[in-house]
Structure 1
Amino acid sequence: MTRKKTAAKKHLQLDSVKKRLGKPFFESKGIAIYHGDTLELSSQLPANTFDALITDPPYCSGAPGSAVMADPSQKYCQSGKTLGRPSFGGDFRDQRSFKYWSLLWIAQAFNACKESAYGLVFTDWRQLATMTDALQAGGFCFKGLISWDKGGGARAPHKGYFRHQCEYIPWGTKGKVPRLIDRGPFAGSYSIRVSQPDKHHMTGKPTQLMQQLVQCVPPGGLTFDPFCGSGTTLVASALEGRSAIGFEVSEQYCEIAAQRVKAAQHGKPLHFQKT
């Protein structure tokens, strides 16, 4: 596909979404951010629009009761120290309500995806079976797991434990896995350490990791991230010549994501500054 045709395709896909959702919170060179609740916004998306769902939703992980209801800073930051990273909502559900909620937004994303589109959703070891069920119940054909090894810096409760140093990405497709001639096969496991200057969210994923994952999207294609947080999926898409639309319920994180996308498009990655 020529560069001119790729650009035209990019604008058509984005325009179809904007006709339904209106003006984005932020838009620049094929990347758009909408501020709002995912279930409300996703219900308005046009069908057969996205080339992939790639997202990192709240895990709602931990033991029932106090761990589920705890502020994310108490669950994901050592000693509750956020270092200036904003907290976030939606991490309070028990496992049954988490599965039902996940089914709802995955089904909406599935409807908005094209035939043969990919669905990649992050989770941890506690919610792995639950998210795998939700991915399939939402419509995607489950094809396997991608592992992300965070490295030896991952915490363990005490010396008797094996470290929980991997997180997982159940993946599937809307129908058959496409036969590609321009990219792939893609790695099924990634060993990429978390870099603090690159981490703008308490549970943020490395930009390098997301750059690898968006390779399943065709150049110029459109990715959907219904929980874009600090915008790493969008940043990776911009760096890799893909378009992306993200939803985010926190206006503060919408601002952070917008600043990161603008910096990436100018070739100057925005580094997190501790406070």
Structure 2
Amino acid sequence: MAVRAPMNRTLELTQDDRIRLRDRLLHSLPEHPLTHPPQGVIWGDCLQWAHHLPAGFVDLLFLDPPYNLTKDFHGQKFSRQTIEAYTLWLDDAIATFKPLLKPSASIYICADWFSSISVFAVAASYFTVRNRITWEREKGRGAKANWKNASEDIWFCTMSDNYTFNVEAVKLRRKVLAPYRQNGSPKDWEATPEGNFRDTHPSNLWTDITIPFWSMPENTDHPTQKSEKLLARLMLASTNPGDFVLDPFLGSGTTCAVAKKLDRQFLGMEINEEYCLMAAKRLELAEHDRSIQGYADGIFWERNTLAMRKRKSGGR
């Protein structure tokens, strides 16, 4: 186990955790296709498991596949391919998952700038592509011979024109730097001792997402972990309580942990056992702590507005 700095809150698995949590993983392929979807974490190949799951049960499909980069996921390596080869691989994956979706389902597919070339081509052939979310990814070193990669994409798609989008559930509370008044009163903003704030409707440019890092209790050693705040925004917008969320490339378990906190049904699939065990641990922790950093009182908060959040929530 790595030696951590005193204030480092990165989640780790102990040997006792591994023994205790292993039985909570689903790992044996059923002999016959299932008539009801399981809930929890599957340790196995998502493309194999998909053929054993029932059709038409998923309300939200969150796809965070390996990007078209050479990457080591705790011993599970993915190598960069040609654009054509990666597009074919992604096409096969999406074709496999599509039968699991309800006609009213929404789909979010993650990508970096290079993988987005393939994502749009494949997604447009199976779904209605409705938007591309670009979110600022502040982590990473600068590039010396190129522009630093500081953003990632999430492609928003739907199966049909009948889909869920709860716009009021995903408002962002922003600081107002140039407040406008009408007849002396604030117009569309609130004055507080901590500053002026406005609740805005969500756009497709997200600058308030923080990559999990060592001081955050949700942080793990997974190299491409998404934040709980990001998943919460997608889930609240595109599902209702009780809806079913599927994540075939689960990683360290963010999707399942957030779904549990937000009272959604969920199923995650991950080929790496260590990440599956981490996901199981995060689900265990979510039973007692339902907080999501950056989201409180039904509002998503801008970075560095913690004082306002505490005031509104009574200092919790």
TM-score of the pair, normalised by structure 1: 0.73
More strand, by proportion: 2
Residues 251 and 275, structure 2, Cα contact 8 Å, conserved in 1: yes
Distance 1:163 1:177, change over 3 A: farther
Aligned match for 2:224, one of 193, 203, 210:
203
For 2:142, give the aligned amino acid: A
**Partner residue, 1:50:** 58
The alpha-carbon deviation at position 199 of structure 1 amounts to 3.1
For 1:202, give the aligned amino acid: P
**Partner residue, 2:90:** 102
Confirm or deny that 1:141 pairs with 2:128: yes
Aligned match for 2:249, one of 223, 227, 243:
227
The alpha-carbon deviation at position 183 of structure 1 amounts to 4.7
User: CA offsets, 1:59-80, max 9 Å, x none?
Assistant: 022xxxxxx4xx537xxxxxxx
SS in 1 for 2:269: strand
User: CA offsets, 1:43-63, max 9 Å, x none?
Assistant: 2221111001112110022xx
Aligned match for 1:165, one of 131, 145, 150:
150
For 2:33, give the aligned amino acid: R
The alpha-carbon deviation at position 34 of structure 1 amounts to 1.0
Distance 1:41 1:93, change over 3 A: farther
Q: How many residues align?
A: 225
Runs of 4 or more, structure 1, over 6 Å off, are none
The 5 A counterparts of 1:15-54 are 20=33, 31-54=39-62
User: CA offsets, 1:167-222, max 9 Å, x none?
Assistant: 00111100115265675675423221213133321111111111111111111100
Confirm or deny that 1:126 pairs with 2:77: no
For 1:176 and 1:157, the matched residues in 2 are separated by 42
Structure 2 spans left out of the alignment, 5+ residues: 1-29, 171-200, 292-316
Q: Which has the larger radius of gyration?
A: 2
**Partner residue, 1:272:** none
Distance 1:175 1:22, change over 3 A: closer
The 5 A counterparts of 1:223-262 are 223-262=245-284
Distance 1:99 1:155, change over 3 A: same
Percentage of pairs with the same residue: 25
**Partner residue, 2:285:** 263
For 1:119, give the aligned amino acid: I
Residues 211 and 239, structure 1, Cα contact 8 Å, conserved in 2: no
Residues 51 and 96, structure 2, Cα contact 8 Å, conserved in 1: yes
**Partner residue, 1:111:** 99
For 1:243 and 1:187, the matched residues in 2 are separated by 27
The alpha-carbon deviation at position 23 of structure 1 amounts to 11
**Root-mean-square deviation (CA), in Å?**
2.8
For 2:34 and 2:78, the matched residues in 1 are separated by 22
For 2:130 and 2:36, the matched residues in 1 are separated by 36
Confirm or deny that 1:156 pairs with 2:178: no
For 1:179 and 1:261, the matched residues in 2 are separated by 26
User: CA offsets, 1:138-166, max 9 Å, x none?
Assistant: x2111110111123x443312x6433111
**Partner residue, 1:190:** 206
TM-score of the pair, normalised by structure 2: 0.64
More helix, by proportion: 1
For 1:57 and 1:133, the matched residues in 2 are separated by 15
User: CA offsets, 1:100-158, max 9 Å, x none?
Assistant: 11111112222111012111010000111211111223x2111110111123x443312
